[in-house]
Amino acid sequence: MGKIQRKKKLEFAEITLEPLPPEEALNFWKDKILLTPFEFYQLDEEKRVHAFTAAKLYTADELNAVHKALQKALDEGITLKQFKKQIQDIITSPWHTEVVFRTNIQTSYQVGRYRQMMKVKQRFPLWMYDAVNDSRTRPTHAMMDEKIYPADHPFWSRWYPPNGYNCRCSVIPLRDDVPPNRISKDMPPQEPDPGFGTNPAKDYFGSLENIFQDKIKKYPKKFADNLRKTLQDEFGKIKSVQDIDKVIKTKLADEFKNGYSGTVAVNEKYFMATDPSNGGLFISSKKFPRLNNFSPLNDLMNAFNKLGKEKLSFNEEYALEALWHEIVHNKQIFAGRYEKSVVETVTQWYARRTYPNLLKKLGNFTPEHQERIIKEGYGYSNMVSRLDELLTNINIKDKDVLLDIEEMIHSTSIDLYPEKLAEILAEKTNGNKTGILNLIYLHLLL
């Protein structure tokens, strides 16, 4: 296949929003919370994407007026010129007006596009970065142009557009008939513009209520009501596996590479299991007396009910980690015969260090027990301890290999995990791959 055909871009010279944005984009915009610049910049980047502010606007009335004008732009497809006219008494700088308009409109469009592309990910499993490539395109954005990654690659958590103020980049979904040498695997060394290193479509709004409880009453009732609903009532009372299924389907389905088919309760001796071919989840209703009475199903229900309201117990937070472990399996490439002990050890080691990603998806919550879970988690505990021992013996810290192992999970079939892990560790230590492979087998296949 030759040069990949691009779809026609939105033209931003005189920005006319036609066709109108998808429902997902409108919903994303309507859910934004209005904050003053001071309040906005107290948040981390992942929370900012779900809030709205504009520089030099310090009153709720000004923010409401600009937000209303942007809402009209999305609803009716008005031009930049019309938008400028509507807010000319509030923002007098043409450049400032353009930045506010383009950045907010483009973000909403790209969120809507992301959610649409996730719905057809099985038919279009590859995504291509698409820069405008004119005199206004930033050099770093131009360097990303036509880079192709799998839809679930970590690249899109870092580089999904917009990637700067006035960024006009977009993403094109592709079928799987792309030549293998065109598909990138490694993360690029370049970074997006400061303040844009997140994917607004993946990151969910966090606990703003605790930070700005006294500010809520200043803003329109629909925003205050939405904020309280998001933080206090999002899950409702989780009483059954059917309720768990609803939460996963609503909040986590896009994490499953082959789609999510549902969750069922089972009376088995394992904690949780999955069928990656269809995204089915199985959660044990058993209680494990030797593991502090850990009960995967009950502890997961309790965790969902308590998130954002009260502190989770170790077992409740570990149930979330166990769920993330199974979700990670749904990101892996299954092929050929594989060493189960190696695959499960790597998956569990990775899941213990990255399950905060699950908490972000559920509402930007933060872990309470991660340090203890890393050291004392129940699943595959002996094998994970052996991998930790191996890394310590060759003087490798978690942070040195975490991103490499994440990339391995997304791009290497599980039958090749021993060789790929040996390659990663040999590269980090300038060691002998064969010797390290023998150490892996010695530690993980005992």
User: Domain boundaries in the chain?
Assistant: 9-119+203-233, 121-186, 234-444
Mean pLDDT of the region 381-401: 92
Task: Judge whether residue 331 has pLDDT over 50.
Answer: yes
Task: Judge whether residue 208 has pLDDT over 70.
Answer: no
**pLDDT at position 99:** 72
**pLDDT at position 244:** 93
Contact 26, 32 (CB under 8 A): no
CA gap 46, 351 in Å, rounded? 21
85 band by pLDDT with thresholds 50, 70 and 90: confident
Smallest CA-to-CA distance from 299 within 279, 271, 264 is with: 271
Looking at the chain, the whole-number percentage of residues with pLDDT higher than 90 is: 41
Highest mean pLDDT among 110-114, 164-168, 354-358: 354-358
CA gap 11, 368 in Å, rounded? 46
Task: Judge whether residue 19 has pLDDT over 60.
Answer: no
- Picking from 55-64, 351-360, 384-393, 416-425, which range would have the lowest pLDDT averaged per residue? 55-64
Which stretch of DSSP H or E encloses residue 130? strand 126-130
By the 10 Å C-beta count (0-12 exposed, 13-18 middle, 19+ buried), 128 is classed as buried
Mean pLDDT of the region 98-112: 76
Which has the higher per-residue pLDDT, 219 or 263? 263
- Picking from 11-15, 276-280, 377-381, which range would have the lowest pLDDT averaged per residue? 11-15
Mean pLDDT, the chain, as a whole number?
A: 80
**pLDDT at position 266:** 95
Q: Are strands 262-266 and 280-284 parallel, antiparallel or unpaired?
A: parallel
Mean pLDDT of the region 259-269: 94
**pLDDT at position 40:** 67
Which has the higher per-residue pLDDT, 59 or 392? 392
What DSSP line would sit under 271-291, residue for residue?
Answer: SEEEETTTTEEEEE---BGGG
Task: Judge whether residue 414 has pLDDT over 60.
Answer: yes
Report the chain's terminal Cα–Cα distance, integer Å. 47
Task: Judge whether residue 1 has pLDDT over 70.
Answer: no
39 token code pair: 């309040």
**pLDDT at position 216:** 47
- Picking from 72-76, 95-99, 176-180, which range would have the lowest pLDDT averaged per residue? 95-99
CA gap 215, 239 in Å, rounded? 33
The CA-based angle 149-151-155, given to 5 degrees, is 55
**pLDDT at position 50:** 66
**pLDDT at position 317:** 96
**pLDDT at position 291:** 96
Task: Judge whether residue 289 has pLDDT over 90.
Answer: yes
**pLDDT at position 5:** 43
